[in-house]
A and B are shown apart, each in its own frame.
Chain A
Amino acid sequence: MRVLVQGAGVAGLTAAFELAARGAAVTVVETRHGLGGNASWFAGGMLAPWCERESAEQPVLDLGRDAADWWDTATPGQVTRAGTLVVAAPRDAGELDRFANRTSGYRPVDENEIAQLEPDLAGRFRRALFFPDEAHLDPRQAMAALHDRLAAMGVEFRFGADARQISGFDRQLDCTGMSAVDARLRGVRGEMLILRTPDVSLSRPVRLLHPRFPLYVVPRTDHRFMVGATMIESQSTGPVTARSMMELVVAAYALHPAFDEAEIVETGVGVRPAFPDNLPRVETSGDTVAINGLYRHGFLLAPAMARQAAELVFNQDRTKELAHETVGQRRSA
């Protein structure tokens, strides 16, 4: 079976892997000229379904708990399994209790254990929540690794190309995110920074709770840290705003004052595609299957969505028959 995957973001790449692994001849077409620039490129790369459950519904935890295993298998060496540390400033201690009440899969840790987990945070926070089963990856490195793996599996990539000018496929998989034509989709703007400083070391993502804007700092290689991310009900892809920049920088600084001399090596803006329930969907329409609405859970939920989509693509004829049966049953009932 020949399948055309539209979009080389995290949805398209993970879907291409699942399809190729099932024996499909896959071509990935992307209008951009490389892997960068989409919402995935600006993602935090946290595989943190237990933490996300604080504000997300149960399916995010159910669909996301195997994500770290998936990425480990598809892109060996990319996943760091060191958990997540959740902290709050002393005056926001109530937020820590609220977070704990809404989540599971953590253990409360005291000052000593915080110091063991993250020596640089020693003495800065009296208590925290530690989510030991969570993981993280660097989205850009992971996407590059997945791209190379796919290429080695025989997947063809066409960058800077228009899907409408390519034909001869049995099925199409639409993974175009915000570019998809779907009136139900809205964009949720996310702004992020990349800081670089040798003065701070972290082993895992740290979330700093605040009553209004919970932010996180994710360690990356070469003394870099991703600080993210705002959540604004806006489709604007314009540059990061001063207020957002201030909030992101202040969060990093509140986590550790040594971030004051960090270099701001990059600012980024991505627009997350979301449905009204903020949950992703895999849907079929004619010969096209679509994955969309990954919202702030791209790397977390793309593997599960890719699996569902690949199964739909391969079982489409059977699904069609089932759909007909259902209609028939309804009529006869």
Chain B
Amino acid sequence: MFELLGTTLPSRLLLGTAQYPSPAILADAVKASGTSVVTVSLRREMAGGRAGEKFWSLIRSLGVRILPNTAGCHSVKEAVTTAKMARDVFGTSWIKLEVIGNHDTLQPDVFGLVEAARILCEDGFDVFPYTTDDLVVAERLLEGGCKVLMPWCAPIGSALGPVNITALRSMRGHFPDVPLIVDAGLGRPSHAATVMELGFDAVLLNTAVAKAADPVGMARAFGKAVEAGREAFSSGMLEPRDVAVPSTPTIGRAVFS
């Protein structure tokens, strides 16, 4: 169980809904993963009125909580408009805030992000900002009213996994009480387990599942990895040592030397 903004969620895995072979496979993947939150984009789909309504109703029928996102927004104004549209379409104050700084790498524009976060928080949104692992930016986002942070662990879609463990540790250390969700850059279940072992509260991913040869199997694998990583974190892991320590006593054994 996972407490997030006053909501109890059964799973610490959040799943994106883009790029699956079909909505049917997406639905099966959501079930197999055990996820309780899915994120959905709507900037491109809302052109021409609510022309994406059919797909959105498929998302609603998944029976899990929806975290709409502002993917594809490059400016504060676009992100704010899209967030408001999302609130109307899905009836939720939750918004995954993306303000993209580079069309190609999809790196967040942290300056625009802080500004948009402040505007949306004032307007009553629960803002989940997609950000980097920069501590100062994180502080500004919290000052702006964010109650959750979503740092990347590598660029979106790169499947590299945590490329800067030190930065992630330091982020966890600096914000012990803020829910931290690693968003973007995860490629394998072991990556998800790694960041969960570091004490992150949850992970959000999309491409690693959607583009797997078998998205449903991969969704299940990620679900297990997130659970395993969390349980390892709460169970207290051994710290690594430089020398071997036998698990059975050596006293009383014959010594050959």
Contacts and interface: CB of A to CB of B under 8 A. Distances in A.
Interface of A: 55-57, 98, 101-102, 185-187, 189, 211-212, 232-238, 241, 243, 274, 276-279
A277 B25 contact: yes
For the residues of A in contact with B, the DSSP-based class is: loop
Task: Using C-beta atoms within 8 Å of the partner chain, give the interface range for chain B.
Answer: 20 to 34
A235 B56 CA distance: 12
A233 B21 contact: no
Contacts of B207: 211
Contacts of B51: 187, 189, 234-236, 238
A236 B58 contact: no
Interface string B11-25: 000000000011111
A232 B21 contact: no
A278 B22 CA distance: 5
B47 A233 contact: no
B45 A233 contact: yes
Contact of A187 (B25, B54, B213): B54
B44 A243 contact: yes
B107 to A, nearest CB: 14
Contacts of B49: 236
B31 to A, nearest CB: 14
A226 B52 CA distance: 26
Contacts of B44: 232, 234, 241, 243
13 contacts: A102-B213, A189-B51, A232-B44, A233-B45, A233-B55, A234-B52, A237-B48, A243-B72, A274-B22, A276-B24, A277-B25, A278-B21, A278-B24
B75 to A, nearest CB: 13
Contacts of B52: 232-235
B211 interface: yes
B21 A212 contact: no
A277 B53 CA distance: 17
Given A186-B54, A233-B55, A278-B23, 19 more contacts: A186-B55, A211-B207, A232-B44, A234-B44, A234-B45, A234-B46, A234-B52, A235-B51, A235-B52, A236-B49, A238-B51, A241-B44, A243-B44, A276-B23, A276-B24, A276-B58, A277-B25, A278-B21, A279-B22
Contacts of A211: 157, 207
A274 B24 CA distance: 11
A272 to B, nearest CB: 12
5 nearest A-B residue pairs (beta carbon): A236-B48, A236-B51, A186-B54, A233-B55, A278-B22
A277 B21 CA distance: 8
A241 B54 contact: no
Nearest to A234: B51
B27 interface: yes
Given A98-B211, A186-B54, A186-B55, A232 B24 contact: no
B21 A55 contact: yes
A101 B51 CA distance: 34
B22 A232 contact: no
Contacts of A98: 211
A278 B207 CA distance: 19
B27 A276 contact: yes
Nearest to A247: B103
A276 B47 contact: no
Nearest to A277: B24
A269 to B, nearest CB: 10
Nearest to A231: B19
Given A211-B157, A212-B157, A186 B58 contact: yes
Given A102-B213, A238-B48, A277 B54 contact: no
Interface in B50-80: 51-55, 58, 72
A234 B47 contact: yes
A241 B54 CA distance: 20
Given A232-B44, A234-B44, A234-B45, A56 B23 contact: no
